[in-house]
Amino acid sequence: MISLINIELYKIFKKWRSYIGFIAIAVLVPLIQIAMLLEGERSFDMMTRNIQQSFIFVGNLLNGYFISYLILNSLVIHIPFLVTLVAGDLLAGEATAGTYRILISRPISRTTLVLSKFISGMIYSALLILWLACISLGLGYSLFGSGELIVIKASGIIIFAKNDILWRFLLAYGTAALSMMVVASLAFLFSSLVENAIGPIITTMTVIIIFVIISAIQIDIFETIKPFLFTNYMSVWGEFFEDPIELSDIFKSCAVLTGHILVFFTAALIIFKRKDILT
């Protein structure tokens, strides 16, 4: 299995499209950070305008942690698209290239084949988030230094001490990776249904956009549906920047996300095992 996963990862990273996500992050994150370096103070003032009358801010609050928090907050919505580019191609890409035939006629079970591709897709998703973490925190720390993290919410502000932040980020990136794996699993499921990678990419993004819109609109009927939408649990990473941390909420969200991954994978496996290869 390890050999097969290595082969799949090798194939993934031999394709140009697999680097689009990494390049996008490598361009976008420094861009945001440079912009914050130039105009960050003004933005920070605007963000804290309402509470400046009640609090006096001292120290380096516009630091690498704060910038990384902002980036994670804004990019976690857009990274799913980068994930689907690869995950949607994992099975359908073989059909498009016509390589299903030489692959499936090999002495290897379809389950093993699907599993190795799926695991590779999960690894890719995790690597993309790891890359985001490295660029975000690494560059943020280099440009802005460290300091306390101020988290501004509608309910108030939370300030985390300097030595109480890094572990929160690590777990936040971990759960963000889990969320991206759900997206990758959904794209993988769609990928098992069709013979062209464009379909799974578009369909996955459409599902996510619809779910996010439903989650955002405050209507009673949508509120009833909301707990059943996986997108509702994708912001679980934000729970690590609460005080106190509600562990039960985190476990529940992670369990729901993991459940979705398993369901999407199982469905993809069943479909693929029954699939007639006609390409």
Partner 1 sequence: MTNEIVIETKNLSKVFKEVKAVENLSLNVYKGDVFGFLGPNGAGKSTTIRMLLTLISPTSGSIKLFGEDLRKKRVDLLRKVGSIIEKPDFYNYLSAYKNLEILGRISGIEIERKKIMSILELVGLEKRYKSKVKTYSHGMKQRLGIAQALLHNPELIILDEPTTGLDPQGMKEIRDLIVFLSREEGKTIFLSSHILHEVELVANRMIIINKGSAQVEGDVKELLNKDSLKVTFEVDDSEAAKKSIANMRWVNHVNSAVDNKIIFSIAPEEISELNKHFVENGIGVNAIIPTRSLEEYFLSITEKGTG
Residues that bind partner 1 (CB under 8 A): 3-4, 7, 10-11, 14-15, 97-109, 274, 276-278
Minimum CB separation from partner 1 for residue 279, in Å? 9
Nearest by Cα to 191 from 109, 265, 82: 265
- Compute the least distance from the CB of residue 81 to partner 1, in Å: 23
Q: Of 15 and 42, which CB lies nearer to partner 1 in the complex structure?
A: 15
By beta-carbon proximity to partner 1, the closer residue of 104 and 119 is 104
Q: How far is the CB of 205 from partner 1 (least distance, A)?
A: 25
Closer CB to partner 1, 116 or 231, in the complex:
116
Nearer to partner 1, 3 or 155 (CB): 3
Shorter beta-carbon distance to partner 1: residue 107 or 156: 107
Judged by CB, which is closer to partner 1: 120, or 215? 120
Q: Provide, rounded to whole angstroms, the least separation between the CB of residue 107 and partner 1.
A: 4
CB of 127 to partner 1, least distance (A): 20
Length in residues, the chain: 279
- Nearest distance from residue 121's CB to partner 1, in Å? 17
